[in-house]
């Protein structure tokens, strides 16, 4: 099966309504270019100042997922609605949650980010997601009309054991909505995206945020679509944009048959 896929690179800001309108416009642009699978970046709904997260959170299902379901249905595409702030009853901490919708608008899966970005790179990046977020505890793989999809978010890219679990559960396509920082992205972003695609012999879509933030660092952009041989099929630059690539779903089966690394694994 061959189909068009798109990653949407955004420079989301603190205006939630503007972000949602911009996301919808870019998803429609991707669908108009023939994309049947479209992925938005991490925190596409809001990228604002530290301390304001709780005011931006909502339950799932909720208004944003309703809007994304209608968007997927209107475009007739499988839509990864990046990630959003999910409010959870009974706890002050939030979840960073990705939602996947079918072309009929059905909510196929939700994935709560497992690995939280707690880092201190002096003079470059300081972040402590665990002050705000609770980690997820579930590996998520789901069937779609385009293949079996595994979900991850941003910092998860640095943990190959998660991706091997996704593949063990049958993933053929990996979706990694991200807000990778500029300092770490310049060093590691494409390297990690290509590595996860190659070692798991999957198609990988990684839409990223771009541009400055209110947190003292910028996001890297350079969203990519990678095939199971590690070839970058499409790559964004440093601004808001949609990039589209022709994806050969059969390439996953071919690479796994010709170089059956996954069946040779001895340490699991």
Is there a contact between 227 and 205 (Cβ–Cβ < 8 Å)? no
Is there a contact between 208 and 241 (Cβ–Cβ < 8 Å)? no
Write the DSSP symbol of residue 58: B
102, containing H or E segment: none
Q: How many CB atoms lie within 10 A of CB 104?
A: 11
Token readout for 133 is: 């977020």
Q: Which of 75, 80, 99, 154 is catalytic?
A: 154
Check if 42 is active-site: yes
Which has the closest alpha carbon to 87: 124, 44, 50, 55?
55
Helix (H, G, I), strand (E, B) or coil at 229: coil
How far apart (Å, rounded) are the C-alpha atoms in residues 257 and 83? 33
Token readout for 184 is: 């770490």
Check if 21 is active-site: no
How far apart (Å, rounded) are the C-alpha atoms in residues 130 and 188? 22
Which has the closest alpha carbon to 97: 26, 45, 157?
45
Q: Which of 113, 172, 193, 202 is catalytic?
A: 113
Q: Which of 42, 53, 129, 172 is catalytic?
A: 42
Which has the closest alpha carbon to 66: 5, 20, 15?
20
How far apart (Å, rounded) are the C-alpha atoms in residues 249 and 187? 29
Is there a contact between 111 and 150 (Cβ–Cβ < 8 Å)? no
Active site residues: 42, 113, 154
């Amino acid at each position: 099966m061959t189909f068009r896929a798109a990653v949407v690179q955004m420079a989301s800001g603190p205006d939630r309504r503007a972000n949602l309108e911009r996301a919808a416009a870019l998803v429609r642009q991707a669908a108009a270019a023939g994309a049947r699978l479209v992925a938005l970046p991490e925190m596409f709904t809001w990228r604002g100042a530290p301390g304001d997260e709780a005011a931006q959170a909502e339950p799932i299902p909720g208004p944003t997922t309703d809007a994304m379901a209608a968007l997927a249905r209107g475009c007739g595409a499988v839509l990864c609605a990046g990630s959003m702030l999910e409010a959870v009853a009974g706890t002050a901490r939030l979840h960073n949650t990705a939602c996947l919708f079918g072309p009929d608008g059905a909510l196929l899966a939700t994935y709560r980010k497992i690995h939280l970005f707690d880092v201190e790179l002096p003079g470059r990046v300081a972040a402590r997601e665990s002050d705000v977020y609770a980690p997820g505890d579930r590996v998520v793989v789901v069937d779609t009309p385009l293949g079996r999809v595994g979900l991850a978010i941003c910092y998860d890219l640095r943990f190959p054991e998660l991706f091997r679990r996704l593949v063990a559960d049958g993933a053929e396509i990996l979706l990694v909505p991200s807000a990778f920082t500029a300092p770490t992205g310049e060093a590691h972003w494409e390297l990690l995206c290509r590595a996860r695609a190659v070692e798991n012999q999957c198609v990988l879509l990684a839409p990223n945020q771009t541009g400055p933030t209110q947190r003292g660092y910028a996001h890297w952009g350079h969203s990519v679509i990678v095939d199971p041989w590690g070839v970058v099929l499409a790559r964004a630059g440093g601004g808001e944009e949609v990039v589209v690539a022709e994806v050969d779903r059969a390439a996953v089966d071919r690479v796994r048959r010709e170089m059956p690394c996954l069946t040779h694994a001895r340490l699991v």
